[in-house]
Amino acid sequence: MPYLFNTPADQQAMLEAIGVRSLEELFALVPPDVRLARPLDLPPAMTEMELTAHMAALAARNDSAESKVCFLGGGSYDHFVPAVVDHVASRSEFYTSYTPYQPEASQGNLQVFFEYQTLITQLTGMDVSNASLYDGGSAATEAVLMALSTNRRRKVLVAASVHPEYRQVLATYERNLDVQVVTIPTPDGSLRPENLAAAIDQDTSCLLLQHPNFFGCLEDVDRISKIVHDAGAVFAVSVDPISLGLLKRPGDYGADIVVAEGQSLGTPMQFGGPYLGILACREQFLRRMPGRLAGQTVDRRGNRCFVLTLQTREQHIRREKATSNICTNQGLFALRASIYLAQMGPRGLREVAELCLQKSHYAQKQITAGGRFQTKFARPFFKEFVVRDTKGRVESLIADASTQGFLAGVPLARFYPELADCFLVTVTEKRTRDEIDRLARLVRSATP
């Protein structure tokens, strides 16, 4: 049995061992005004069985995609995760490993990163991918920082249809930089090319766009790409990886930097993240890329092996030369994405994307059939769409649906006050026709 320091004599012995005479002396460096001047308000201790039951009861209070039918989206999605992803990713050599700081430390991990990078470049149509960032928001900000360091311009354009939390992350970064961030309104649910043309100029470093965007709408990426490049700026695009099973690859419509939230590639929703930040770019931006780049080479015996080809974090090089300080590698999630993409293949990914497209359009028609609910934006969409409640009872509608076993959507008032009467509905390949029909009936029969 481990020795427990649970008596005054034990505590005094510990204090003497570290060279102080009292607890007051131990905490002398802590200012009195930030100390808690009373005992902690804790309930009585529980036995192990009591504690297990208590924690289970607390966990049961959570609504999840396992306990209710999920139509939530906005960056975290209830996609199907094949069993092989959990099986391979849970192997101890992967599950307990972390970022290799020495190139030769872990050939298995480095090979995973190399395969991941290969799959991401094939998926996005870009030249090079790093070995992952924290999440979609940090990846989007890193893309902007890459552009700023490349052309030395100081103006950044961001479409209002980009995920609001991504824009918040960007605002946090630029607060202490000499950068002007201009948000271009998207009242129609997507960026109008003529509004972009009016805002862009020779001081513009880049445009950050999301396609499909936060509202689920598709952007006019071909026209937008031309406007951005005619101004000599960098075109950075945030994408939904699943959508690339159907939509044109970003590299094929002129994107310079591609970022994404990789959660949909084999990772459950897990309380919202953080998950996996995907970042890929054209080769000309390689030296500005944050994070690590795993490469393939041969050893002295001519055998295939893997190394960290590019290491731009301050642990590896001089701090002032580092391109980023937020490049801890989400290796386990990158592994899951690699397994998912390898398992699905191009045909499987296309089938998932087609199911999302077909089911979401069916749901949109069913929900708006009664007249009270309308589609807010008359734009093509992939798997998400915005519904307007003409009665303006979004919060009570969502709450009532939850009591009936449905996570019906994401209210938009917290992100866009002008859309207080709207909510975002997401339909993935997991949703059945019966579930969609039941949600539609529930919504249409809601109390006016």
3-state secondary structure 284-305: HHHHHCCCEEEEEEECCCCCEE
* Residue 27, token pair as written in the block: 């905490």
Domains of the chain: total = 2
Per-residue pLDDT at 113 exceeds 80: yes
**pLDDT tens across 156-177, in order?**
999 999 999 999 999 999 998 9
DSSP secondary structure letter of residue 214: T
**pLDDT tens across 228-269, in order?**
999 999 999 999 999 999 999 999 999 999 999 999 999 999
Per-residue pLDDT at 355 exceeds 60: yes
Q: Are 290 and 415 members of one domain?
A: no
Give the position of tokens 């990426």. Answer: 221
pLDDT band at 106 (very low <50, low <70, confident <90, very high): confident
The pLDDT of residue 9: 84
Beta bridge partners of 259: 238, 279
Q: Give domain status of residue 45, yes or no.
A: no
Could you tell me the CA-to-CA distances from 444 to 12, 17, 411, 439 in Å, in that order? 68, 70, 17, 8
Q: Give domain status of residue 247, yes or no.
A: yes
Q: Are 94 and 126 members of one domain?
A: yes
Q: Are 227 and 360 members of one domain?
A: no
Q: Is 405 left (phi over 0), alpha (psi -120 to 50) or beta?
A: left
Per-residue pLDDT at 197 exceeds 90: yes
Q: Are 294 and 384 members of one domain?
A: no
The pLDDT of residue 274: 85
The pLDDT of residue 3: 47
Angle at 60 between CA 58 and CA 66, to 5 degrees: 145
Q: Are 281 and 366 members of one domain?
A: no
Q: Give domain status of residue 24, yes or no.
A: no
**pLDDT tens across 294-338, in order?**
899 998 999 999 988 876 554 555 666 666 655 555 788 999 999
Q: Are 288 and 254 members of one domain?
A: yes
Instruction: Specify the range with the lowest mean pLDDT, choosing from 1-10, 232-241, 402-411.
Output: 1-10
pLDDT: is 91 or 126 the higher one?
Answer: 126
* End-of-domain residue from the set 287, 318, 341: 341
* End-of-domain residue from the set 312, 341, 370: 341
Q: Give domain status of residue 193, yes or no.
A: yes
Mean pLDDT of 106-120: 91
26 class by beta-carbon count within 10 Å (0-12 exposed, 13-18 middle, 19+ buried): middle
User: Rounded to whole angstroms, how far apart are CA atoms 162 and 324?
Assistant: 22
Q: Are 115 and 240 members of one domain?
A: yes
Mean pLDDT of the chain, nearest integer: 91
Per-residue pLDDT at 286 exceeds 70: yes
* Residue 274, token pair as written in the block: 């953080």
Q: Give domain status of residue 300, yes or no.
A: yes
Q: Are 143 and 173 members of one domain?
A: yes
Return the CATH number at 421: 3.90.1150.10
Q: Are 319 and 396 members of one domain?
A: no
Q: Give domain status of residue 437, yes or no.
A: yes
* End-of-domain residue from the set 296, 313, 341: 341
Total Cβ atoms within 10 A of residue 8: 7
SS3 373: strand
pLDDT band at 99 (very low <50, low <70, confident <90, very high): low
Determine the structural domain holding residue 162 and report its residue range.
Answer: 83-341
The pLDDT of residue 100: 56
Q: Are 232 and 262 members of one domain?
A: yes
Return the CATH number at 238: 3.40.640.10
Q: Are 394 and 333 members of one domain?
A: no
Per-residue pLDDT at 18 exceeds 50: yes
Q: Is 305 left (phi over 0), alpha (psi -120 to 50) or beta?
A: beta
Q: Are 196 and 150 members of one domain?
A: yes
